[in-house]
Amino acid sequence: MEQTAQSVYAFRAPLLDGRGVSLEEFKGRVLLIVNTASKCGFTPQYGDLEQLYRAYKDRGFVVLGFPCNQFGHQEPGTAREIGIFCQQSYGVTFPMFDKIDVNGADAHPLYRFLKQAKRGVLGTQGIKWNFTKFLVGRDGTVVDRFAPATAPKTLAAQVERLLSEK
């Protein structure tokens, strides 16, 4: 099924509240898909991701957070604990999904698609750490991939460019 997917809209995932969501709900928007963690050196990026989201959400931009516990067990919490942490610590209002795997046999199909669409350094597919980012155009195709250390605010120009494309 995911081998024939042409866009991120072919996938579904549950939000932290358990409600299943088709990514087709985000059709026509520019997306930044990020695997996240609450106990990581990059965790403060939640605040920067929220600022980026608030700056562009009215123009059709959405950040989608996917908690993952595969890197140093830095996301041990339950869905409820993750939601409370993100809201209380960083005021997160963008959609946060239930915890997933991004690598290995149990990797979520969305992440299999993302890794195939945009490989990392030296052509590697695997996600190396928390806060790897995928920028997706309005048509659901993956435009770029960014390393965990890439600060969300540095993506503003690319987000603006994609938002201005019709």
Q: For position 83, which CATH number holds?
A: 3.40.30.10
Output the pLDDT for position 121. 62
pLDDT at 41 (0 to 100): 87
The structural domain count of the chain equals 1
Which backbone phi and psi does 33 adopt, to 5 degrees?
-100, 125
Could you list the beta-strand ranges (E) of the chain. Answer: 12-14, 20-22, 30-36, 61-67, 133-136, 142-146
The whole-number pLDDT of residue 3 equals 46
> What range does the domain containing 67 cover?
2-164
Query: Active site residue: 23, 40, 135, 136, which one?
Result: 40
Per-residue pLDDT of the chain (166 residues; tens, 9 = 90+): 344 568 899 999 999 999 999 999 999 999 999 999 999 988 999 999 999 999 999 999 999 999 999 998 999 999 999 999 999 999 999 999 999 999 999 999 999 999 988 776 666 678 899 999 999 999 999 999 999 999 999 999 999 999 998 6
Residue 68 annotated as catalytic: no
Q: Any idea which residue has 């942490």 for tokens?
A: 85
pLDDT of 126: 80
Q: Does the predicted model carry a pTM greater than 0.85?
A: yes
Backbone angles phi, psi at 65, to 5 degrees: -100, 130
Check residue 2 and give its pLDDT: 41
Please tell me the predicted confidence (pLDDT) of residue 149: 94
At residue 154, the pLDDT reads 96
In degrees to the nearest 10, what's the CA dihedral of 106, 71, 87, 110?
Answer: -30
Q: Are the CB atoms for 152 and 32 separated by under 8 Å?
A: yes
